[in-house]
Amino acid sequence: MKEFSRTDRIADQIQRELAVMIQREVKDPRLDAMITVSGVKVSKDLGYADVYVTVLGKEDRQEVIQENLAILKQAAGFLRGRIGQSIKLRVVPQLRFHYDESVRRGQELSSLIEKAVAEDRKRNPDQES
C-alpha cells in the first residue's frame, strides 16, 4: 500500500480549504455559486498548486467558464493568503486555476451510451438485456 506523500497531503488540505473559501469568502457577484474544486496538484517544491475546478450550472458555456476562471485568478492572491493563515506552511504555493473538463466529458459519454442502448432496444425489441 502506497503512503501519501507530503505534497499529496498538502494538495488534499488545500482542496478542502479552497472549496469552503471560494463559496464563503470570494465576494464577486459574477462568480457562479456552483464552482467545485475537483482536484489540486502541488509541485514537489511547493512553488505552485494547479487547482482544477468545475462549473456546475445551468450554463456550461465557454464564456461562463472563462469568466469564472478569470475571477478566481484575480482572487488567487487573497485565497493564497487565507490558505497561509489556515495551513501552517513555510511556503504557500502560487495558485493556478484550470477548468476540469472530465465531468462534462463524463456526462457526454454517459448520454452517448444511453442513446446507443436506446437505439439498440429499438432495433431488437424482443431481446432482453
Report pLDDT digits (tens) over 50-74.
Answer: 999 988 765 567 888 888 999 999 9
- Res. 85: pLDDT tops 80: yes
Predicted local distance difference test score (pLDDT) of residue 43: 94
Average pLDDT of the chain?
87
Predicted local distance difference test score (pLDDT) of residue 57: 66
- The pTM score is 0.77
The more confident residue out of 96 and 1 is: 96
**Burial (CB count within 10 angstroms: exposed 0-12, middle 13-18, buried 19+), residue 23:** middle
- Res. 2: pLDDT tops 60: no
Q: What is the pLDDT of residues 12-52, one digit of tens each?
A: 999 999 999 998 888 888 886 688 899 999 999 999 999 99
Q: Which string of b and e fits 62-86 if b means at least 16 CB within 10 Å?
A: eeebebbbebbeebbeebbebbeee
CATH T-level assignment (fold) for domain 6-101: GMP Synthetase; Chain A, domain 3 (3.30.300)
Delimit the domains of the chain by residue range. Answer: 6-101
Predicted local distance difference test score (pLDDT) of residue 55: 81
- Res. 11: pLDDT tops 60: yes
DSSP-derived secondary structure letter, 41: E
